[in-house]
Amino acid sequence: MENVNDDGWMDAAAYDDELPFGNFNDNEKIEAPVNDDVVGVCPCCGTNVVERDMAYFCDNMDCSFAIWKDNKFFQAIGKEMTREIAEDLLTGGTVKLMGCKSRKTGKTFNCYVDITYDDEGRVQYEIRFPERKHRGE
């Protein structure tokens, strides 16, 4: 077999025909198609957070920040992680949820959910309840 190096690889520079995957000009700029749907800004590193099939991920490959769509915390209060909720969490760090449902009691309630993250970019959620007005106020 000609044009094969000692290590078994074909020498592309000596290959006269068109390469099986196409020829490239070294001066030609190749851009990947941009299909990213930006949801917000990563609170960890400041890069865009983009929507993917399973989660809202930080676009920075070195950052591990992600808001998962299949979210046990939100499922426990009878809610789904939607794009709107993710946008609110990324924009203000909190979201107001109406009509949540307790798995234990079956009662509905309204709450605020705050988002925080640890040093490794793992998301944590915390529930806050609206302050109740006391009688006579």
∠ CA 82-103-72 to the nearest 5 degrees? 40
Res. 132 pLDDT band, cuts 50 70 90: confident
Sequential DSSP letters for 31-85: ------EEEEE-TTTSPEEEE-SSEEEES-TT---EEESS-HHHHHTT----HHH
**Single-letter code of the amino acid located at 117:** Y
Q: Mind listing the pLDDT tens digit for each residue in 20-74?
A: 566 666 666 555 445 568 999 999 999 999 999 999 999 998 999 999 999 899 9
